[in-house]
Amino acid sequence: MGAARRRLGFWDIADDEPERVALHQGSRQVRFGELRDEAHRLSNGLRARGLRRGDVIAALLPNDAIYYALHLAAMESGLYYVPVNTHLKAPEIAHIVRNSEARLLIAHDAFADTASAAAQQADLPFEGRLAVGTIDGFGGIEEITRDQPCSAPADRSPGQEMLYTSGTTGLPKGVRRPLPEGDPSRLAHESTVFARAFRLEPFDGVHLVIGPLHHAGPAVFSWGSLNVGHAQVLTDHFDARHTLELIEKYRVTNTHLVATMFHRLLALPKAVRDRYDVSSLRTVAHSATPTPVDVKKRMMEWWGAVIWKTYGGTEGAATIAKPHRWLERPGTAGRAVGGVRLSILDDQGAPCRPGEQGTVYIEGNGPPFEYWKDPAKTDKAWRGRAFTLGDIGYVDEDGYLFLTGRKNDTIITGGVNVYPAEVENVLLSHPGVADVAVIGIPDEEWGERVHAVVQPGKQIRDHRAFERELIDYCREHIAHFKCPRSVALTRRLPREENGKLYKERLRHAHALRSRPA
């Protein structure tokens, strides 16, 4: 088939080029045609099980071929597909199953104990439990694919992913949109606009899946590249050296990372970093937590100008900063993507001037979302046709966005607002700091005190001297009122795989035991 006529979108690629490799999972290869056939068998099996358009299935799965097959089956069966964070505890998973009204929980036996407890706590009947492998109290997923045809179901209908926010300050919330209409194959083709935005060349690339696919960022970039014919190299966890090995082995062209991964890659000895060929990389996207300017510059010096910044969330995309634009304006989150309008509003809802900080609002042209069964949270997020993720920032005269903090994280000390991200970026530029979280804790005199929880990058013999050094370092770089008045050292900060901090845990743990330095 001539290059000019090659069709895009997973389903059309699978029909036209079934032998093309879709997934590399260890020594196993899965081709587009095989993945399509398994998705069709699952689709037919789910329908035979009684699931109909608008029903919900939840999946507790690792980065595995079954994740792709089940997701594809839901997307052609008119189902809501809920990928569950595999690090959640049984009560949290049970909440998601109940809250989403999932008729089916499909779990991998790598999470057998948690899945069993969650299903029991959610009062899920036996017929609502399927296992990949063997889990007590679950049927096998092969039960619904056995004897099912690998042809497309007769009544194909597009489904919708329903992601749950990470729940760092409470129970996870489901982000739900109306089911789309139309032909699933056509919608997969139309979604390739994502690949064009990030310059992913059709049929010319390999994507490395590092982050867990139950998070929005890794999943969006994996599907975006798969829909233009890029093979996916699957990993089940992040390891800095192994990442370099995979990039070299598979000549990886694109991937999605978070700031924590940058830190760990840069922490490798230079001799190790220099050992691997990363010249194949063209697009490395990063999102979620802010990345210090110095860290990103060091990554660009190593990997070249291939690192793209994105800003958005489970609720929707907002901005892209192409590498050369970021180098012109270090620290920017970029400009609004096509069809999106940014607004910076003050606490009264009035527009802020360029350079003036306020709450970031995002107005897109897609269907609106709701936080499922939480109208109060939904109403709080929306202002007219625009929604906020709770971030504070400003735009410059040219419309480039700069994020300075989270509204919920803002520290009010002595009546003055301090945005933790600014302080964290300063501390992360200190050579002895591997990771940091800045929080506000109660203070009789100041109302709240700026407090830093620091993960050192090396062994510290004199903790008090190091804490004092960090405070002095901050005072050399930012106004004194923004600087921590107390510092605590920790072996590891509580982060999600996508880099997000459980700051509420830190506030609770440090509110009583921390003392001013």
Among the listed residues 296, 121, 303, the one whose alpha carbon sits nearest the alpha carbon of residue 208: 303
- CB-based burial label for 170 (10 Å; 0-12, 13-18, 19+): exposed
CATH 2.30.38.10 fits 338-409, yes or no: yes
State the pLDDT at residue 512: 53
137-149 residues labelled b (16+ CB within 10 A) or e (exposed) = ebeebeebbeebe
| 167 has pLDDT over 70 | no
State the pLDDT at residue 516: 46
- The residues that bridge with 25 in the sheet, in sequence order, are 28
CA atoms of 346 and 354, how far apart (whole Å)? 12
**Among 167-181, 214-228, 306-320, 361-375, which stretch is predicted with the lowest mean pLDDT?**
167-181
CA atoms of 347 and 383, how far apart (whole Å)? 12
| 318 has pLDDT over 70 | yes
| 74 has pLDDT over 50 | yes
Domain boundaries, the chain: 3-189, 338-409, 410-513
CA atoms of 93 and 122, how far apart (whole Å)? 8
In CATH, what class is 410-513?
Answer: alpha beta
H or E element that contains 115? helix 112-121
Among the listed residues 30, 51, 54, the one whose alpha carbon sits nearest the alpha carbon of residue 42: 51
Among the listed residues 122, 38, 46, the one whose alpha carbon sits nearest the alpha carbon of residue 80: 46
CA atoms of 286 and 265, how far apart (whole Å)? 14
CA atoms of 229 and 383, how far apart (whole Å)? 39
Q: Could you check whether 338-409 and 410-513 share the same CATH topology?
A: no
Q: What is the DSSP string of 441-486?
A: EEETTTEEEEEEEEEESS--S-HHHHHHHHHHHHHHHS-GGGS-SE
State the pLDDT at residue 168: 46
**Among 135-139, 198-202, 300-304, 461-465, which stretch is predicted with the lowest mean pLDDT?**
461-465
* pLDDT tens string 397-432: 999 999 887 777 778 787 677 878 888 988 988 999
* pLDDT tens string 232-284: 999 988 999 999 999 999 999 999 998 878 988 998 999 999 999 999 999 99
State the pLDDT at residue 478: 84
82: region left, alpha or beta (phi > 0 left; psi from -120 to 50 alpha): beta
CA atoms of 497 and 246, how far apart (whole Å)? 19
Mean pLDDT of the chain: 91
Mean pLDDT of 86-95: 89
Most confident of 30-34, 87-91, 442-446: 30-34
Mean pLDDT of 100-129: 97
Among the listed residues 483, 356, 475, 508, the one whose alpha carbon sits nearest the alpha carbon of residue 411: 483
| 1 has pLDDT over 90 | no
Q: How confident is the model at residue 288 (pLDDT cuts 50, 70, 90)?
A: low
CA atoms of 350 and 348, how far apart (whole Å)? 6
Q: What is the pTM of this model?
A: 0.84
Task: Kindly state the tokens that stand for 464.
Answer: 């008090």
Q: How confident is the model at residue 515 (pLDDT cuts 50, 70, 90)?
A: very low
| 312 has pLDDT over 60 | yes
Taking the CA atoms of residue 495, residue 500, residue 503 and residue 505 in that order, the dihedral angle to the nearest 10 degrees is -40
Sign of dihedral through CA atoms 462, 463, 469, 473? positive
Q: How confident is the model at residue 517 (pLDDT cuts 50, 70, 90)?
A: very low
| Under 8 Å between Cβ of 323 and 308 | yes
Strands laid side by side in the 139-140 sheet: 139-140, 129-132, 104-108, 56-60, 80-83, 160-161
> What's the number of CA atoms in the CB half-sphere (13 Å) around residue 362?
28
State the pLDDT at residue 469: 95
State the pLDDT at residue 508: 74
Task: Kindly state the tokens that stand for 328.
Answer: 């012109």
State the pLDDT at residue 170: 59
Helices (H), 227-309: 240-250, 259-266, 270-274, 293-303
Q: Which residues contact 63 (CB under 8 A, 6 or more apart)?
A: 209, 212, 213, 234, 235, 236
State the pLDDT at residue 504: 74
Report strand pairing: 358-363 vs 386-395: antiparallel
Q: CA 58, 163, 45 angle in degrees (round to 5)?
A: 30
Fold category of 3-189 in CATH: Rossmann fold (3.40.50)
